[in-house]
Chains A and B, each alone.
Chain A
Amino acid sequence: MEQFFQWLQDSPLGVAVREQGNLFPVFETIHVIAITIAVGCIIIMDLRLVDLVWTKRPVGRVIGDALPAVWVSFGIAVITGVLLFTSHAVNYWHDAWFVWKFVFMAMAFVNQLVFHALTGKDLNHWAADFQLPVSAKVAGAISLGLWVVIVACGRMIGFTMEV
């Protein structure tokens, strides 16, 4: 793993992102914009799922409104994230906050998969006044908590990573 990250860091791409003018700040700015859209839209869906707000609009509709924006912005965040990673791959790998960020993202992903496969199988048929199952509210609350922590971990990397 370490060898691969070292190779990545020494590759022309890694060198370019690290050393060429404004490449790093530009990718970082796009990364932040993409993350704010992705996390914001996830928060919208989660708040509906815990049944706290916008209860007049069915859960399936709120998810239908927000989910496409999540996938597009998340895709942009992944691409720019990989580019940023190549610049200091080994250093990122050694940063605990970076590693935790990915552990929490994996947990959020599993949470979402489980929700869509089990609890939310037929969520498009849930009417606005449908009594949401507790498992749906729990999935929403878990997702909400995890994404807040993921943003915090991401922000911490900039303070703790040793270059």
Chain B
Amino acid sequence: MSLHEFCLWVEKTDLSMFVKSNDWVVPTLQTIHILCVAIILSSILMMTLRIIGIIGKDESVQAFAARFLPWIWYTIPTLAIGGLLQISAEPERSLSNKIFQTKMVLLVAAMAGMVALGRKIHAAAGEAPSPAAGTIQVKFIGMIVFSLWIAIIAAGRWIAYAIGL
């Protein structure tokens, strides 16, 4: 089955019909999607600012990570479900769109980065608790993950401007 055939099949499902034929569904899904991204990006920002040593120096990097990392992992399933529902309405528009494909690659990279970030911060706690700032490695990963999420949002917005790409 080619991607095109798969898209044609998805378009005929009841789910796709439901999302397409009710005007309120897509804007509602997109609003939830944006709110989820807001929670993730601001959580990453708070952690990165703490790791660099700009905010919350009275608390450890580990405490910041313990506060914000779980929120990111709770939010991602909601993002994924909302994203899949939006795709079901117009599969061809997204799945065969180069910007969408780039966005998915960036997303995988960001998730790998967040796993690495969590592990490094956890490991650093055992070696030497550093109240002032994170290690160079942790700072680097934090900034990379934050930049990846900025790129993910930009790509997400750009899918609509790159139809047929």
Contacts and interface: CB of A to CB of B under 8 A. Distances in A.
Interface of A: 22, 25, 28-29, 32-33, 35-37, 39-41, 43-44, 54, 57, 61, 64-66, 68-69, 148, 151-152, 155-156, 159
- Interface magnitude class on chain B: 20 to 34
B158 A25 contact: yes
A36 B153 contact: yes
Contacts of A64: 55
B157 A40 contact: no
Nearest to B58: A61
A29 B153 contact: yes
Given A65-B55, A159-B23, 12 more contacts: A32-B34, A32-B153, A33-B41, A35-B34, A35-B38, A36-B38, A57-B59, A65-B49, A65-B50, A148-B31, A156-B27, A159-B27
Contacts of B143: none
A148 B42 CA distance: 15
B98 to A, nearest CB: 16
Contacts of B56: 61, 65
Nearest to B153: A33
A36 B34 contact: yes
Nearest to A41: B42
A32 B157 contact: yes
Contacts of B45: 37, 40-41, 69
Interface SS of chain A: helix
B46 interface: yes
B67 A57 contact: yes
A64 B57 CA distance: 11
B67 A29 contact: no
A33 to B, nearest CB: 5
Contacts of A66: 42, 46
B81 interface: no
B31 A151 contact: yes
A159 B30 CA distance: 11
Contacts of B43: 40, 44
B42 A33 contact: no
Contacts of B125: none
A155 B27 contact: yes
Contact of B35 (A37, A68, A151): A151
B76 to A, nearest CB: 14
A26 to B, nearest CB: 9
Contacts of A148: 31, 35
A43 B38 CA distance: 9
Given A25-B161, A28-B157, A65-B46, A37 B30 contact: no
Nearest to B67: A54
B37 interface: yes
A32 B67 CA distance: 25
